[in-house]
């Protein structure tokens, strides 16, 4: 037996992948990635809508508590054209010693501008007192009073596919968030005298 025959019997034949096998693996990975990417985009868009609605809900809760604690009205201003909102109240100007309207910006509250396709889809704010409906719609603000009450509001935020609705009760100023359209949210009348 020669040395080359002995070497051939000891070492098995080496074999690599064919181009067809490599292309098949690449196609399978691309298909799995494409399906996962589509699911991710849909989930991401839903998360943007939910985040915008949750920001409005938390701002409304903060405004209610701050109005009662500070004994002054707090107002959530909705900017329907630019798709955002901010909280305002009368603040003391330390330079002049006068109180003037200012935007509340702290650890718990900040102005919010929606991202992506998120926008206000439906805004229903009920006027209080002597205001007319036109004045209330023109101002697009939810006022929280020091006595705990607020303007009744139902606000739908969405991107055309996903919708969340935030409602504010007039009698108690409490805010709640619901998945779905504003037309599906029933505003409740609260009887404060009931026990």
Q: Is residue 13 part of a domain?
A: no
**Most confidently modeled range among 4-8, 37-41, 88-92, 119-123:** 119-123
Q: Is residue 140 part of a domain?
A: yes
Kindly tell me if the per-residue pLDDT of 44 is higher than 80.
yes
CATH number at residue 133: 3.55.40.10
The residue among 159, 156, 175, 191 whose CA lies nearest residue 62 is: 175
Q: Is residue 102 part of a domain?
A: yes
The residue among 112, 55, 64, 115 whose CA lies nearest residue 86 is: 112
Domain of residue 141, residue span:
19-184
Q: Is residue 191 part of a domain?
A: no
Q: What is the pLDDT of residue 136?
A: 46
Higher pLDDT, 87 or 96: 87
Q: Is residue 81 part of a domain?
A: yes
Q: What is the pLDDT of residue 24?
A: 87
pLDDT in tens, 155-191: 999 988 889 999 998 888 899 999 988 887 766 555 5
Please tell me the distance from the alpha carbon of residue 34 to that of residue 152, in angstroms, as a whole number. 45
Q: Is residue 195 part of a domain?
A: no
Q: What is the pLDDT of residue 11?
A: 60
Tally of domains within the chain: 1
Higher pLDDT, 42 or 5: 42
Higher pLDDT, 143 or 191: 143
Q: Is residue 10 part of a domain?
A: no
Phi, psi of 184 (to 5 degrees): -90, -5
| DSSP 8-state assignment for residue 142 | E
Q: Is residue 29 part of a domain?
A: yes
Higher pLDDT, 3 or 50: 50
- Decide: 119 and 159 in contact? Cβ < 8 Å: yes
Q: What is the pLDDT of residue 56?
A: 93
């Amino acid at each position: 037996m020669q040395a080359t025959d002995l070497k051939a019997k000891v070492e098995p034949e080496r074999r690599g992948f064919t181009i067809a096998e490599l292309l098949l693996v690449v196609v399978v990975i691309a298909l799995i990635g494409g399906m996962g990417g589509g699911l991710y985009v849909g989930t991401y868009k839903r998360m943007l809508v939910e985040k915008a609605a949750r920001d409005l809900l938390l701002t409304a809760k903060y405004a209610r508590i701050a109005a009662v604690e500070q004994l002054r009205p707090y107002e959530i201003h909705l900017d329907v054209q630019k798709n955002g909102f901010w909280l305002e109240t009368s603040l003391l100007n330390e330079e002049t010693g006068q109180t003037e309207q200012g935007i509340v910006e702290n650890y718990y509250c900040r102005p919010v501008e929606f991202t992506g396709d998120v926008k206000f889809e439906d805004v229903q704010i009920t006027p209080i007192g002597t205001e007319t409906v036109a004045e209330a719609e023109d101002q697009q603000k939810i006022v929280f009073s020091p006595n705990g009450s607020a303007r009744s509001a139902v606000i739908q935020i969405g991107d055309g596919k996903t919708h969340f609705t935030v409602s504010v009760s007039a009698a108690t100023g409490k805010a709640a968030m619901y998945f779905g359209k504003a037309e599906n949210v029933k505003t409740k009348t609260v009887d404060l005298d009931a026990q």
